[in-house]
Amino acid sequence: MKNISLIKNTVQEYAWGSFTAIAELLSNDSPSKTPQAELWMGAHPKAPSMVKCDGNWISLLELIEKNPDHILGKKVAEKFNNRLPYLFKVLAAAKPLSIQAHPSIDQAKQGFERENRQGIPLDAYNRNYKDDNHKPECICAMTFFWALNGFRKISGIVGLMEKICPQGLKKQLDTLRGQQSPIELKRFFQTLMTMNHEQQTKIIAHAVSNAKKFTDDDPAYKWMIDLHKEYPADIGVFSPILLNLICLEPGQAMFLPAGELHAYLDGVGIELMANSDNVLRGGLTPKYIDIPELLNVLNFEERKVNILETEQINECEWVYENHAEEFILSNIHVKEGIYNSSDHRSIEILLCSDGKATITDLGKNDKVVIDKGKSIIIPAVVKEYRIQGNAAFYKAAVPI
């Protein structure tokens, strides 16, 4: 594969997905018959993109295996063992996703090897580690996007908790107020997660009843009530109280490193991540939850969430501040101007989010017309290309 090519991508249908967002992006019938949660663009073995080559659709995974240097570029192929290192997604959350965290690269390697030795099948319900890779990720809002990301300041957690459950957790809150450290926060969180079901039920009922009195004070209480409606017996309803509650405006983005407890609550976004499927869950899900392993990977340092800065690198492209070696995300807008790519580039996937444009391989003068909802792959062997038209794109690439 040596040409700019259209790709066909898999839509993942999960219960929390939207009936309209992805359908409308792809110009399909809306509402869809089933909830559509994610559009995957990349070479993940679970659902690799299909590339149009000589009139036929061929798996991108297969094409990379046959000729990694041409598609990935020699440096990227060597660095990432002939694999596309990122997975590019459109994520459409109409309901909250599970509270979760991802392991570091060392934790992923150790966990994957350990579960292999234990003989746990890769598709088993109680499998934590599906591969040996970490999963840093970036989320960029296409609509207003509500999310949770990392633990709040401990003083903030104590203040919010005291209003809604002054008795059920009084002893633990008093200790946390007096010793505001990551160790005590871990103990407090572990107490919540491991108390017996009867205790959890009482504390949840008490806290949600009280939270209804304070919805005008802080949106965390409203989200707690909303989560309780979806998961009435799940201790994860406390997550908006414990974690930083964020609302990204369209175009804003944030980064989620290893070990940060997080959840996506509502909205449509572009997600770009390392090519992994390792998830440790902490609640708001019927899926497997392994509390000891979750506690092992979590970072209990209180943190402030930073909105990623963008840098305009030419007339048409804005690059988001990058914290990963596997991927980098940018926005491209062409209207009056013309976008000319760098001649120092790696494998790129472009998703057209609006409008219509022509993309030209400047070495061969081959042209591909692309419009809203369509995506293309531009292999590293294409030296330079040009975009002309009136369109907006999200671009995934490997920093080199």
Catalytic residue positions? 281
Task: Kindly give, in sequence order, each residue whose CB lies less than 8 Å from that of residue 222, ignoring residues fewer than 6 positions away.
Answer: 215
Distance CA 283, CA 238 (A): 10
3-state secondary structure the chain: CCCCEEEECEEECCCCEECCHHHHHCCCCCCCCCCECEEEEECCCCCCCEEEECCEEEEHHHHHHHCHHHHHCHHHHHHCCCCCCEEEEEEEECCCCCEEECCCHHHHHHHHHHHHHCCCCCCCCCCCCCCCCCCCEEEEECCCEEEEEEECCHHHHHHHHHHHCCCCCHHHHHHHHHCCCHHHHHHHHHHHHHCCHHHHHHHHHHHHHHHCCCCCCCHHHHHHHHHHHHCCCCHHHHHHHHEEEEEECCCCEEEECCCCCEEEEEEEEEEEEECCCCCEEEECCCCCCCHHHHHHHCCCCCCCCCCCCEEECCCCEEEECCCCCCCEEEEEEECCCCEECCCCCCCEEEEEEEEEEEEEECCCCEEEEEECCCEEEECCCCCCEEEEEEEEEEEEECCC
Distance CA 21, CA 373 (A): 11
